[in-house]
Amino acid sequence: MTPDLRTLVERLKAVSHPLRLRTLALLASGELCVCQVAEVLEVPLSSASEALRDLRRAGFVTERREGRWVYVSVVPEAGASSLLKGLIEEAGRLPEAAEDLRRARDIRALEVPVVCSRVQGASSRTRKPALP
């Protein structure tokens, strides 16, 4: 149950990163698909995908595939680790996280991932206007 030093350090490294930490705080509000994460956090899809891969390797998030989409969420037992619970709580208080959550709410309001087609490769700051 108690991890060894290397494992604990790996887990800490996984969250010692602005994007990954924001991602974790974001997912604490509920699952999203990868392209929604990229959209909300305003980063290229590949960056979001890599952030999620690292969080998955560290054991913080799981995925659920549905058609072409991959929905990611915080693993249930995450609450078990008081460490992670405290971290998510602390991260949730960040101003950046609040901002992300607002965008997430808007995006969740839309049907499914309508959003996705907008991203692929381009930073959302330089992308084209919304869809029909």
| Among 21, 24, 35, 78, contact with DNA (rule: CB under 7 A) | 35
Q: Is 8 in the site for its own copies (CB under 8 A)?
A: yes
x/- map, 71-100, its own copies, by CB under 8 A: -----------xx--xx-xxx-xxxxx---
| End-to-end CA, the chain | 51
Nearer of residues 30 and 86 to its own copies, judged by Cβ = 86
How far is it, in rounded angstroms, from Cα 8 to Cα 12?
A: 6
Identify residue 23 by its one-letter amino acid code.
T
Q: Are 131 and 117 in contact (CB under 8 A)?
A: yes
Tokens of 35: 């392209």
At closest approach, how far in Å is the CB of 30 from its own copies? 21
Question: Which of its own copies, DNA, none sits in contact with 76, Cβ below 5 to 8 A by type?
Answer: none
Q: Is 104 in the site for DNA (CB under 7 A)?
A: no
At closest approach, how far in Å is the CB of 4 from DNA? 16
SS3 state of residue 71: strand
Tokens of 31: 């699952």
Give residue for tokens 């991203």.
119
Identify residue 122 by its one-letter amino acid code.
A
Contact positions vs its own copies (CB under 8 A):
2-6, 8-9, 12-13, 15-18, 21-22, 82-83, 86-87, 89-91, 93-97
